Each structure stands twice: as structure tokens, then as C-alpha cells.
Amino acid sequence: MIIPGVEKELHKLPGFCEGSGSVLGVQTHVDCRSFLGHKAVYRMGFAMAAFFCLFAVLTVCVRSSKDPRAALHNGFWFFKFLVLVGITVGAFYIPDGTFTSVWFYFGVVGSFLFILIQLVLLIDFAHSWSQRWLREASESNAKGWYAALCTVTFVFYAASIAAVALLYVYYTKPQGCTEGKALISINLLLCLVVSVVSILPKIQEAQPHSGLLQASLITLYTIYLRSSDHPQVNKLMLTEEGGSGPGPGEAAEPGPHRAYDNEQDGVSYNYTFFHLCLLLASLYIMMTLTNWYRPDESLQVLSSPWTAVWVKICSSWAGLLLYLWTLVAPLVLPDRDFS
């Protein structure tokens, strides 16, 4: 939608550009060809979000495949694609008005929530990674695992230091840029705090597997967002990998295999949460494709507002605070099992 060829064709849609009474709530008759692709991405994002929101509502409290609504999730693919196409086409005929301006803030909130989900997965991944390597090191009594831990930790911290230096070089100036300097410095200070806390004796006693590997990974995240991998998504969705395969002690039967219903007693994952994650992902992709830009009041320039900056800053702070909580939680709540 944002490549020049497609953007040129969008101008032919009736009412999509010329003839609209207002854009972003501003009465105007200017030529909006400069951001047609931007508007199209917003409408496609709206269509995807509306589609997944619809199915999130339709699958609320589905406990097993015996619920008739489970068929809506697992079947009727032709009709679901038809519904998606219909919503997408209809989205392009939404009157301009304040749609783009309002939907921008929906995208901001949805993207922030999606980033928080990634943060939970990242923290879980960091702990699992460290525990696995330390377990391998203790069981095999090999120094290679410890060397690998030290090497990866050093690389992560080196990359983080280099990235922070580049942030100061490219996003600040010797005179001025006070906000940028303050935000970068706060992030740097928080990274130092979580790194020191992760190796405190009390923390080590409560969580023997905590260490600088996790802290270095979380530190690097404050510079760059990491996407979750499939096994970590399975953890969040409460699914089991290979759930439809043979159980313990069962041999796989030879010959062709047929799909069967393994959710008659209970669903393998929460259908509603599944669709909500895809809804938030749609909004996040929408904001990423548009680079968090929106037209300014003159409708001639696409600008990145401070709202987008604060979303990214707050997400990095949330990641550091969430990781800090995983370190101190066993000390604050000693009666709970955090294993």
C-alpha cells in the first residue's frame, strides 16, 4: 500500500482522497496524494483488528471443542476469508473525518500492549536460557559452558555500550536536546541497576540461576526490540508443543495419519487470547509500517510525534522493571513458589 505504484492507484478510489470534507478533523481541500499509502495501511490495520476482535468476542469462554462456537475458530475458512475481505473493502469507504487521528491512538495503545507481551516472553526466555546453560555446565562439569556464558554476556554488554554511545552521538547535540540526553541517561542508569541487583548475594541465594546473562540481554533489549520465537509463544498461549502427537509410552502408528479432535475435554489454548494477540499484532505492524508517522496539520508532511517516542521509552522501562521484579519477587514474597 505504501509503494509508489499502488499509492498512485489508490488515488482513483472514489472519495478516498479528493472530495473528502476533512482529514484528521481539519477542513481542507488539499491534495492528499502524499499520504494515500499511509491512510491505506491504517484502513487495512483497522480491518485486521476488527476481524480478530470479532472472533475474540465470538470465542469468549470456549472450554472445549464440544462448544458450537469452537467450529468458528477451527473451521469455516472460506467464509472467514470472505468476512475479512468484506471488512477490508468496507474500511476503505470509511469517511475521513477524524478516523486517521483517532485510529493512530488506538494503534499506539495496541502496540504498547503487544510490546509488553513480547517483554514477558523475552524475560522468560532469558531465565530459561541461563538455567539451561548452567545446568549443562554443572552436569557435564565442562568449562566450555561457563566460557560460552561469559562470552555471550560480554558480547551483549559490548553491543549495549556501543548502542548507547551511538544514541548520544546521533540523537543529542552538545547544546540542547535535553530530553534526549535525559531519556538515554535514565535508561543507562536503570540498566546498571538491574545488572548490579542480579548479582547481589541475597538475590543469588534466592535465585541461584540469576546472573549477568539475563541482565545483559534485557539491557540490550532497551536498545532494540526482539521478536518472540515459537516455543515462547506456546508458553504464553498455554499450549504444548506436539500436543497432537503420541503421549509418553505410546508408539506412533505406522501408515498415513488422520487429524482428530483432541480438544473434546478441553481446549489446548485460550481462543480469545489467541485472537487478542493477533489483534494487537495487527496494530503493531500497522504502526511499524507507517513508522509511527501521521500527517501534520498542513497535511503535507508526515511527522513522528512524541507519543511514539514515549511508547518506545516506556516499553523499555517496563522491560527493566519487569525483570527487576522477577529478581526481587522471591525475597518480597518468600511463601510463594517461583520455580
pLDDT at 101 over 60: yes
Cell readout for 62 is: 470456549
Closest C-alpha among 180, 26, 6 to residue 98: 26
Q: Residue 24: pLDDT above 50?
A: no
Inform me whether the pLDDT recorded for 276 exceeds 60. yes
In terms of pLDDT, which residue wins out, 97 or 303?
A: 97
Name, of 142-146, 162-166, 215-219, 299-303, the range with top average pLDDT. 162-166
Give the phi and the psi of residue 245 in degrees, each rounded to 5: -85, 180
Q: Amino acid letter at 164?
A: V
Question: Using CA atoms, how far apart are residues 120 and 319, in angstroms rounded to an integer?
Answer: 8
Amino acid, single-letter form, for residue 319: G
Give the pLDDT confidence of 106-134 residue by residue, as tens digits: 998 898 888 888 877 877 887 788 788 77
pLDDT over threshold 70, residue 218: yes
Question: For residues 185 and 305, which has the higher predicted lDDT (pLDDT)?
Answer: 185
Answer positive or negative: Cα dihedral of 49, 55, 58, 63: negative
Q: What is the dihedral of CA 184, 185, 186, 189, to 10 degrees?
A: 130
24 compared with 313, residue with greater pLDDT:
313
Examine the pLDDT at 195 and tell me if it is beyond 90: no
pLDDT at 53: 95
- Map grid coordinates 476482535 to a residue: 53
Task: Give the pLDDT confidence score for residue 257 in this predicted structure.
Answer: 60
Q: In the predicted model, what is the mean pLDDT of residues 219-223? A: 69
CB of 282 closer than 8 Å to CB of 55: no
Task: Show contacts of 91-94: CB within 8 Å, 24+ apart.
Answer: 91/43, 91/44, 91/46, 91/47, 91/50, 92/13, 92/16, 92/40, 92/43, 93/15, 94/43, 94/46
- pLDDT attached to residue 56: 93
The answer, as to whether pTM is greater than 0.75, is no
With 70 as the cut, is the pLDDT of residue 197 above it?
A: yes
Taking alpha carbons only, the member of 203, 268, 206 closest to residue 237 is 268
Mean pLDDT of 292-305: 57
Virtual torsion, Cα 164, 168, 170, 173, nearest 10 deg: 180
Q: Under DSSP, is residue 101 helix (H, G, I), strand (E, B) or coil?
A: helix
Report the pLDDT value the prediction gives residue 36, as an integer from 0 to 100: 75
What is d(CA 216, CA 192) in angstroms, rounded to the nearest whole number? 10
Question: pLDDT tens digit string along 152-181?
Answer: 888 888 888 888 888 888 878 878 778 888
CB 125 within 8 A of CB 319: no
Cβ atoms of 234 and 336 closer than 8 Å? no
List pLDDT tens digits, range 42-84.
889 999 999 999 999 999 988 888 888 888 888 889 999 999 9
Q: What is the pLDDT of residue 97?
A: 67
Q: pLDDT band at residue 251, thresholds of 50, 70 and 90? A: very low
Q: Is the pLDDT score of 237 beyond 50?
A: no
Q: What angle, rounded to 10 degrees, do the helices at 99-140 and 306-332 form?
A: 40
Predicted pLDDT of residue 80: 92
Q: What are the phi and psi torsion angles at 161 (to 5°)?
A: -65, -45
The CA distances from residue 312 to 6, 48, 143, in Å, are 30, 23, 39
CA 337 to chain centroid, in Å, comes to 28
Q: What's the rounded Cα separation, in Å, for the pair 293 and 11?
A: 20
